[in-house]
Amino acid sequence: MFGFAAGKNLNLNLNLNVNTTTTTTTTTTAIAAANFINQPSSSSSSPRSIFSTGRHTVSVSFGTRRIGSMRASIQQPLSISDQSIMPPSPINPPSHPTYDLQAVIKLALAEDAGDIGDVTCMATVPTDMEVEAHFLAKEDGVIAGISLADMIFNQVDSSLKVEWFQKDGDHVHKGMLFGKVSGKAHKIVVAERVVLNFMQRMSGIATLTKAMANAAYPACILETRKTAPGLRLVDKWAVLIGGGHNHRMGLFDMVMIKDNHISVAGSVTDAIKSVDTYLKQNNIQMGVEIETRTLEEVKEVLNYASQGKTSLTRIMLDNMVVPLGNGDVDISMLKEAVELINGSFETEASGNVTLETVHKIGQSGVTYISR
């Protein structure tokens, strides 16, 4: 799906500020770096004073990268009274007849907890300890997964209080605090890794989608079914948050006539004719797309459509973007196909689409761009 899910996760942290009943305030910083940042692990458990007020810090690294010079600024007393608390994301997840987000969250939590639970927390964190944790962006990007994070925290402990200063789809900058959660320490720590795993993945997808969508304009960016098994709805949700559009959710909500179907049917014409007959006989109304690989196939589709009513709604123009040796692409075949179709159907360019080539492809006149 454009490599969205295979790209780098956006690096986010959840920093815990622990208020004990003693006169000394201890702050534990949980540094949760993105899994895709392959840097040597570094950690320290030696206390060091960073406040003239007598406050001390215990620095604990759970990830692959320390926060470095950012640490002091994050561990200063935080004031958020002047920040507006954002409402829940207005960008809803795409619909699916059988996908259960709550079940996916339950599975993610269960694979982390196993049959025992968080033994480290049980050994080190008092069950009645209250904390406040702040979400920190460690790099620029588009934030995504806020609504899903709310669902995860609620499933772990409905008494946790979560507040956000940004909403899904907003741009965040390195060092920006964009939310907080308060409540029982051991509950927040249990939810932490699952929340960050989802948010980092979704934010990485949304960030790349935003870049692709901006470059492709006026064409619209589509993802595909090439998603991580079990995470399709989550990945497609992130694409929406990033400004992209959803292709079909699965095999059930759109007819997609690919090269294999055409080979079995015998020809482009026979494949479309079979689909038209099937949909009519079963009184089914849904979008129909056919893949074409040559200008001759485009002409064959148009010739069939000119002979009578068809259920066809979109023509895919596959690999009509030809890569050149200098890193550029030749879109002359794509433009000719778009001119032949002349607005009769939606068009979708696919193949040889990258962040570097998508702008040029978007100027060809196609409706959608996918990969």
pLDDT tens track for 245-284? 999 999 999 999 999 999 999 999 999 999 999 999 999 9
pTM of the entire structure? 0.79
- Which CA distances in Å does 21 have to 9, 25, 92, 311? 37, 8, 41, 70
* Catalytic residue IDs: 193, 226, 258, 291, 318
Residue 312 has pLDDT above 50, yes or no: yes
- Residues 6+ away with beta carbon under 8 Å from 305: 312, 344, 345
Residue predicted with more confidence, 241 or 39:
241
- Measure the CA angle with vertex 222, ends 218 and 225; round to 5°: 170
Q: Residue 7: what pLDDT?
A: 58
pLDDT tens track for 314-330? 999 999 999 998 889 99
Classified as helix, coil or strand, 341 is helix
Q: Where do we find the tokens 């990969």?
A: 371
Q: Where do we find the tokens 């993610």?
A: 108
Distance of alpha carbon 32 from its chain centroid, rounded?
18
Both structure tokens of 141: 């990007």
292, burial (CB in 10 Å: exposed 0-12, middle 13-18, buried 19+): buried
pLDDT band at residue 89, thresholds of 50, 70 and 90?
Answer: very low
Domains of the chain: 12-202 (3.90.1170.20), 254-370 (3.20.20.70)
Q: Residue 17: what pLDDT?
A: 66
